[in-house]
């Protein structure tokens, strides 16, 4: 029985996945490393330093730790500039309606994000009140595809993972949901998110009844 829905943030609640891409793209261009949307799929859901490493790996480039930290900080400065524009109008289609219905029906709602900027984005979207618990990068030691972030959310919500649906736009995220023993709903391309129980283009029209059929 459905007890909780645990959402990823970037690319699920709002399209900040695009801003992460644009910020990494600028940095990769400056470093002269080829980087495109296809390769970017591997970065989705992956924490900041691991994302940088994936970009460097592509060019077989090795850098000292402190230079990597400086580059990661530079990417984050670009990203923070981009998210200054985020307003409640940037909620993706269907999100607000689904959050409202979950609340009304007493189903717990969690957020499981690998981003240190998750709190700021949620505040800009003005949806904090819909979440019973938020787990962000600060509370997590191992990045997706490790299930830690989803398990921490379920624990805080007081629900068994088997009664949770996780919603994700990233391959690493779908994997994390499966490893957590939850049911994954994918947002995006079925070819990339094939391991999800179901994949939809967006949350438009998604409701508690449809979610319940995925889990029972």
Active site residues: 8, 10
- The entry of ligand G6P, Mg ion, none near residue 40 (CB within 5 to 8 angstroms by kind) is none
- The entry of ligand G6P, Mg ion, none near residue 61 (CB within 5 to 8 angstroms by kind) is none
**Which of 13, 98, 99, 114 touches ligand G6P (CB under 6 A)?**
114
* DSSP string computed for 29-94: HHHT----HHHHTTTTT--HHHHHHHHHHHTT----HHHHHHHHHHHHHHHHHHHTT--GGGBPTT
Place of tokens 């709002």: 14
Separation in Å, CA 75 to CA 27, 29, 81, 82, 149: 7, 12, 10, 11, 23
**Distance of closest approach, residue 40 Cβ to Mg ion, in angstroms:** 11
**Distance of closest approach, residue 115 Cβ to Mg ion, in angstroms:** 9
Interface size with ligand G6P, residues (CB under 6 A): 18
The pattern of x and - marking residues 28 through 47 that bind ligand G6P according to CB under 6 A reads ---------------xxxxx
Contact between 5 and 208 under an 8 Å Cβ cutoff? The reply is no
- The entry of ligand G6P, Mg ion, none near residue 166 (CB within 5 to 8 angstroms by kind) is none
For residues 127-166, which are near ligand G6P according to CB under 6 A?
A: 137
């Amino acid at each position: 029985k459905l007890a909780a829905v645990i959402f990823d943030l970037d690319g699920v609640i709002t399209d900040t996945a695009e801003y992460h891409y644009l910020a990494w793209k600028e940095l990769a261009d400056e470093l002269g490393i080829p980087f495109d949307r296809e390769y970017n799929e591997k970065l989705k859901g992956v924490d900041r330093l691991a994302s940088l490493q994936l970009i460097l790996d592509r060019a077989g480039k090795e850098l000292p730790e402190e230079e990597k930290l400086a580059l990661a900080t530079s990417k984050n400065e670009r990203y923070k500039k981009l998210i200054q524009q985020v307003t409640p109008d940037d909620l993706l289609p269907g999100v607000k309606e689904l959050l409202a219905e979950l609340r009304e029906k007493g189903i717990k709602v969690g957020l499981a994000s690998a981003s240190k900027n998750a709190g700021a984005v949620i505040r800009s979207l003005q949806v904090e009140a819909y979440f019973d618990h938020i787990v962000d990068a600060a509370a997590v030691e191992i990045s997706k595809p490790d299930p830690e972030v989803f398990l921490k959310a379920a624990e805080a919500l007081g629900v068994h993972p088997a009664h949770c649906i996780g919603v994700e736009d990233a391959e690493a995220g779908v994997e994390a949901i499966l490893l957590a023993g939850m049911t994954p709903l994918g947002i995006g391309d079925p070819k990339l998110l094939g391991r999800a129980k179901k994949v939809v283009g967006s949350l438009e029209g998604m409701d508690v009844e449809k979610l319940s059929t995925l889990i029972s």
